[in-house]
């Protein structure tokens, strides 16, 4: 299995979000890997994550159900590729659990994200007063990268991270 720590991002195909946050990486890891916690922060409000299934191992399921403010639901199904506790979490929607090829793109009217495949890498590095949080999302072509960026990648991932930090501080 590939190790994603040596991957060099391609600015033409990849989107990246980095921030240092003032919470320990073990708590960030728990927020990413515990379904009940993930549902509280994963989708930028006013959207909600109403269901989540996690089998935390390479080949395991990473599935969420997002609900729009209008009540429309959007399933997201993926497969973990790499799981290194408190360090790195890698999944893709190009594969279903047990590394089965996905039926993507799934045509979901009004939901562009379902129209392209991607691989996401969440990296957590300890810092003196918290965690360096890096989200890298890899796309297969420039068009999909541009579509994801236009959907509000930076703002959406930033809002979700703010919600994650706020949730941890309430615990």
CA distance 88 to 54: 15
Tell me which residue range forms the domain holding 117: 16-170
Residues 102 and 91: beta-carbon distance below 8 Å = no
CA-based radius of gyration for the chain: 15
pLDDT digits 0-9 by tens, 78-120: 999 999 999 999 999 999 999 999 876 544 444 444 578 999 9
- How far is residue 5 CA from its own chain's centroid? 17
pTM of the prediction? Answer: 0.90
Looking up residue 101, the CATH number of its domain turns out to be: 3.30.530.20
Residues 90 and 120: beta-carbon distance below 8 Å = yes
pLDDT digits 0-9 by tens, 4-38: 667 788 999 999 999 999 999 999 999 999 999 99
> Maximum CA pair distance of the chain?
45
In-domain check, residue 9: no
In-domain check, residue 8: no
Q: Which residues pair with 153 in a beta bridge?
A: none
In-domain check, residue 6: no
What pLDDT is stored for residue 105 in this prediction? 55
In-domain check, residue 65: yes
Return the half-sphere exposure (C-beta side, CA atoms, 13 A cut-off) of residue 20. Answer: 5
pLDDT digits 0-9 by tens, 143-160: 999 999 998 999 999 999
In-domain check, residue 71: yes
Count of structural domains within the chain: 1
CA distance 48 to 134: 23
**SS (HEC) of 21-85:** ECCCHHHHHHHHHCHHHHHHHCCCCCCEEEEEEECCCCCCEEEEEEECCCCCEEEEEEEEEEEEC
Among 107, 109, 113, 106, smallest CA distance to 148 is for 113
**For 23-152, where are the alpha helices, taking DSSP H only?**
25-33, 35-41, 142-150
For all residues of the chain together, what is the average pLDDT? 91
What pLDDT is stored for residue 47 in this prediction? 95
Q: Which residues pair with 65 in a beta bridge?
A: 51, 75
């Amino acid at each position: 299995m590939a190790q994603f720590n040596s991957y060099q991002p391609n600015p033409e195909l990849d989107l990246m979000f980095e921030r240092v946050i003032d919470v320990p990486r073990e708590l960030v890891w728990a927020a990413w890997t515990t379904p009940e916690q993930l549902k509280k922060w994963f989708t930028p409000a006013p959207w909600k994550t109403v269901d989540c299934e996690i089998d935390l191992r390479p080949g395991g399921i990473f599935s969420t159900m997002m609900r729009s403010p209008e009540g429309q639901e959007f399933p997201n199904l993926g497969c973990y590729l790499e799981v290194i506790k408190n360090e790195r979490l890698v999944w893709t929607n190009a594969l279903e659990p047990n590394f089965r090829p996905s039926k993507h793109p799934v045509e979901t009217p009004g939901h562009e994200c379902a129209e392209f495949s991607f691989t996401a890498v969440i990296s957590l590095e300890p810092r003196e007063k918290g965690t360096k949080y890096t989200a890298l999302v890899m796309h297969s072509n420039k068009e999909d990268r541009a579509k994801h960026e236009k959907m509000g990648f930076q703002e959406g991932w930033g809002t979700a991270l703010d919600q994650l930090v706020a949730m941890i501080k309430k615990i």
